[in-house]
Amino acid sequence: MVIPGQTPPTNLDEFLEGIWKQNPVFVMVLGLCPALAVTVSAVNALAMGAATTFVLLGSALLVSLMRRIVPREVRIATYIVIIATFVTIVDYLIAAISLELYEALGAFIQLIVVNCMILGRAEAHASKFAPGRALINALGMGIGFSIGLFALGSVREILGAGTLFGVPLFGPDFQPWVVMVLPPGGFFVLGAWLLLFNWWRNRKPAPREPVVAAGEASHG
């Protein structure tokens, strides 16, 4: 990421990277499985964002601490063990906090483990930098991911149920757009957001930096 001869990014750059320039949902288009599956309401979206952020932070810290002692050959195995640990922890925590939320998010909490954004962060960032920077970057990514999920979740909740955070917006006679809480609705809304984002980015004078940094894990 850091090219010799350039000024190294400041902490603020590091933090903002995930929120804007490399937003996991809108720019890198990573972690689509939870982004499409659980964003039927704003609360679910934020909960999934928070759970993912927790896993990102925990794995970034541990990967970064161990970066000097992990041999190259077994690094992926190590990252996966670490990520799986934090996913299991967050799974227990959510079940302890609210069973209702746990059932709403369903299998997708466990599936955070296959969210390639997290492995991508461990491989591309946390394994190369000190814990402080790795945490800042992970927090930015986590918040960026949460913003992406919230953007999807809020639109789907407003159209699909006529509410936002459970508060009715249009009165009792609102006709819900059922398709929005079904899987196709997730694709429609994501497509619309991507359209908006690309249109917005393209109308600015020619961007110079490549959009997706090399070394990111591909979506899986």
Partner 1 sequence: MSEATLQPVTPSAAMIRTLGLVATVCGILLVLTYQNTLEAINANKRVALERAVFKVIPGAHSMKAFHVGKAGLVPEGGAVPAGAVKFYAAYDQAGQLRGLAAEAAAMGYADMVRVLYAYNPAKQAIDGFGVVGHRETPGIGDKIIFDKAFLKNFEALDARLGAAGDALANPIRVVKNGGKQNPWEIDAISGATVTSRAVARGINDSAQKLVPLLAPHLDKLQGGQ
Partner 2 sequence: MTQPLRLELRTAPHVVKGTSVERIMFHVVLALLPICAFAVWQYGLSALALMLTVVATCLLTERLFNRLSSTASTLSDWSATITGLLLALTLPPSFPLWMGVVAGFAAIALGKALFGGIGYNVFNPALVGRAFVQAAFPVAITTWVPAQFPGRFSEFVPTTLTAPLMIPPDITAWVKGHVVDGFTGATPLARWKFENQVADFGDMLSGVSAASVGETSALLVLVCGLYLAARRFLDWRIPAAILGSALLLALLFHLFDPTRFPPPYFVLLSGGLVLGAVFMATDMATSPVTPLGVWIYGILIGVTTVMIRYFGGLTEGIMYAILLGNALTPLIDQVTQPRVFGAGKGKKA
174 binds partner 2 (CB under 8 A): yes
- Compare residues 73 and 173 and give the one whose CB is closer to partner 2: 173
**Which tokens sit at 130?**
């000190």
The partner in contact with residue 71, picked from partner 1, partner 2, none with C-beta cut-offs of 5 to 8 angstroms by kind, is: partner 1
- Compare residues 54 and 129 and give the one whose CB is closer to partner 1: 54
CB 146 within 8 A of CB 80: no
- Compare residues 79 and 145 and give the one whose CB is closer to partner 1: 79
The partner in contact with residue 92, picked from partner 1, partner 2, none with C-beta cut-offs of 5 to 8 angstroms by kind, is: partner 1
Site for partner 2 in 41-80 (CB under 8 A): none
Position among 102, 177, 193, 197 found at the interface with partner 2 (CB under 8 A): 177
Position among 180, 189, 190, 216 found at the interface with partner 2 (CB under 8 A): 180
197 binds partner 2 (CB under 8 A): no
Position among 7, 175, 202, 218 found at the interface with partner 2 (CB under 8 A): 175
**Which tokens sit at 110?**
């466990």
Position among 65, 76, 128, 188 found at the interface with partner 2 (CB under 8 A): 188
Question: Interface with partner 1 by CB under 8 A: which range of 28-36, 146-154, 175-183, 196-204?
Answer: 175-183
CB 60 within 8 A of CB 134: yes
The DSSP secondary structure of 54-119, one letter per residue, reads HHHHHHHHHHHHTTTTS-GGGHHHHHHHHHHHHHHHHHHHHHHH-HHHHHHHGGGTGGGGG-HHHH
The Cα 71–Cα 159 span in angstroms is 50
- Compare residues 96 and 214 and give the one whose CB is closer to partner 1: 96
| Cα dist from 184 to 1, 91, 207, whole Å | 36, 27, 32
Pairing of strands 163-164, 167-168: antiparallel
**Which tokens sit at 210?**
């490549």
HSE-CB for 151 with a 13 A CA cutoff: 21
The Cα 71–Cα 78 span in angstroms is 9
122 binds partner 1 (CB under 8 A): no
178 binds partner 2 (CB under 8 A): yes
82 binds partner 1 (CB under 8 A): yes
Footprint of partner 1 (CB under 8 A):
62, 66, 69-74, 77-78, 81-82, 84-86, 88-89, 92-93, 95-100, 103, 160, 176, 178, 181
